[in-house]
Chain A
Amino acid sequence: MSLDCRKEIFQHLNNNVKMSNIIEIKPVHTIDQVHGMQLLYQMMRIRRFEEKSAEMYTKTRIRGFLHLYIGEEAVAVGVMQALVADDNILSTYREHGHALARGIDAPVIMAEMYGKMQGCCRGRGGSMHLFDAGKKFYGGNAIVAGHLPIAVGMALASKKQNKQNITCCFFGDGAVAEGAFHESMNLAALWSVPLLMVCENNLYAMGTAIRYSHAVQELEKKGAAYGIGSVAVNGMDVLEVERAAREAVERIHTTGRPFFLVCNTYRFRAHSMFDAELYRDKSEVEEWKKKDPIQALQKQLLNEQLVTDEDVQRLSHEIEQEVQAAVDFAEAGTWEPVEELSRFVYSDQRKPA
């Protein structure tokens, strides 16, 4: 790869153009150089951002609950490639990766986790409740499966207004045991709405392994009960996730029906910062770490000589600076005046006298 070409790629990345609809992807497992680097960049960026978040948590700059996505980056990044700016996205309390991959700026996410006024929700949401209406990112919901019915409603609204966008909803394997999941699947199928349900099956709901939660552990089979097309993919392979998501989105557009995509993945870190991980063996975690989605893609790109070691180093360096800038921004942020405490309970027009 020529130096000039690489420079262009970095510029491209730095321009914060992270919306996938801009880039044309060839199907199957051939990777285009720019796209390959972009995927790598996004996953590495999420990883580094979260490592930094954990560090800042330990330093008590961030408080409350903090749920890391480390190990699962290929899911958010892969799926996001199939979505366009007009699509709606809903996620869980483990949503830093989705927010970043969607293009919410790292500094405002970090500031939010600091509780600062410059955060994307003015410090009123914190790590579990990241919202950005402009990016059509509707949270950040901390009630397991609490956002699934909302996602169905948003997709229904699109349908009623003849909009071409879809709604994409991320949730965990634990959520699939909730009544809200089953009710949502039924309604989505019944109403035939453009909804992509993405299950991030990381095999655990807090400390409860999937075998203690689900009589049928192949979660994709549950789509059949609702007549919803379903598929399970290797969630540690960003290219496979991307391909499956693109196919799913295409299918939603052509049929107007929901789709259920199960991404089998694994979280490398504790459930949250308050978890002694008594429920699983270290060796199990180590086995899964061998399937690290970032290392896998990096290896593939190196093997196919699409990137060099220097490229990867340079990416790391760029990311390090970006993440540090996010921390600096959050540190420099200010607290919302206490006088504003009662704002946003009602929209201004409706505020009672």
Chain B
Amino acid sequence: MNSNDTILITYREALKQAVREALHKDEKVFLMGEDVGRYGGAFAVSKGLLQEFGPERIMDVPLSENGFVGAGIGAALGGMRPIVEIMTVNFSLLAMDQLVNNAATLLHMSGGQLNVPVVIRMSCGTGRQLAAQHSHSWEPLFAHIPGLIVLSAGTHEDARHMLPMALQSADPVIIFEYTAMLNMEKDMPGNTSDFNINKAMVRKPGKDISIITYGAGVYKALDAAAALATMGVEAEVVDLRILRPLDKDTAFESVRKTHRALLVEEAWATVNISAEISACIMENVFYELDLPVQRLGGVEVPMPYAKHLEDASLPQKEDIVERVKKMLQHD
């Protein structure tokens, strides 16, 4: 982004503007999901849209994740441009069959005849004491599935601009949004001309170490980088953004520059995105490394309810700072 114009905006408002704009731009677009209309959206993202667009375009659906996600896929096949909201990622498993066996496969199984241009939005993430069933970080599960495009909106800018890009895709797109960030206010670049959903982004340049992350890790990593800067360490923060297909080149470029990499995410460490990035670094830029790649992921436990336990089970800013200091043997 090269514009100096910025807008102060909450993450929630950024999401809402994106949905609203999409509804205005294309009459084939409609939003369907549980409580998106009369309730105003479980997290108030779609508040007021029912009044503005009416119940045909802001469709409340009954509790039936498998059913209505399947209906969204059918509507997309039938020429519409549905935005399907799964209230939170935690309930997405009930729709997994539709997503994995239909959305992701129809193009291939039909020999290239059928596109499924459906966009699935899900709020997700941790940090609100919602315990083991309501605090999932399942980006890796979806990033595992060929046929899906998986996006992670770890910044306000992406909350605002990923959806319109996703609606231009001919293939199914899943967008992860982060509930814990909804009320967060940030300055967002006004200029979006160079926006894309193909590339990872360097959110802060640095020369000493690459912190490679996505989602809820992005702002934590930026905070950590700011703290490290006061100690004379210049960390580079890479936001992966696109989890499938992964843009590895941006990560490699960063490693070529810093020669050190710390991979950070909230998802359980085993078989997560960082595991994949780590393997790719070994395969491609191993000789660039001064140190072994290290990872900070979620502790492998169903999320506990109690605040101190929840905090302890996630990588925090302090953990990032400590780990970087250790890696650089900085005192």
Chain A positions within 8 Å of B, measured between CB atoms, are 63-65, 115-116, 123-126, 128-129, 141-145, 174-175, 177-180, 205-209, 212-214, 275-276, 278-279, 335-336, 338, 341-342, 345
Contact = CB atoms under 8 A, between A and B. Distances in A.
Contacts of B133: 128-129, 141-143
Contact of A123 (B62, B94, B306): B306
Given A178-B64, A341-B312, A342-B301, 17 more contacts: A64-B131, A115-B305, A115-B307, A124-B306, A174-B63, A179-B66, A179-B67, A206-B34, A207-B35, A207-B38, A208-B35, A214-B62, A278-B38, A278-B40, A335-B309, A338-B309, A341-B309
20 contacts: A65-B130, A115-B307, A115-B309, A123-B304, A145-B63, A174-B62, A177-B63, A206-B39, A208-B34, A208-B35, A212-B38, A213-B63, A276-B40, A278-B40, A279-B38, A335-B308, A336-B309, A338-B309, A345-B301, A345-B302
A143 B63 contact: no
A115 B39 contact: no
A143 B62 contact: no
Given A115-B129, A123-B309, A206-B34, A142 B134 contact: yes
A248 to B, nearest CB: 25
User: Which of B64, B91, B131 counts the most chain A CB atoms within 10 A?
Assistant: B131
Interface residues of B: mostly helix, strand, loop or mixed?
loop
B105 interface: no
A276 to B, nearest CB: 8
B56 to A, nearest CB: 14
B313 to A, nearest CB: 6
Contacts of A174: 62-63
User: Which of A212, A275, A336 counts the most chain B CB atoms within 10 A?
Assistant: A212
A128 B39 contact: no
Contact of B305 (A124, A208, A278): A124
Contacts of B34: 206, 208
Given A64-B305, A124-B306, A206-B39, A178 B129 contact: no
B197 interface: no
Contacts of A336: 306, 309
Contacts of B91: 143-144
B102 interface: no
A126 B63 contact: no
B60 interface: yes
Closest A-B pairs by Cβ, 10 of them: A207-B39, A115-B306, A126-B305, A177-B62, A123-B306, A213-B62, A64-B129, A63-B129, A279-B38, A124-B304
B128 interface: yes
Given A123-B309, A207-B35, A345-B301, A64 B128 contact: yes
B132 interface: yes
Contact of A124 (B94, B130, B131, B300): B131
A128 B308 contact: no
A136 B39 CA distance: 35
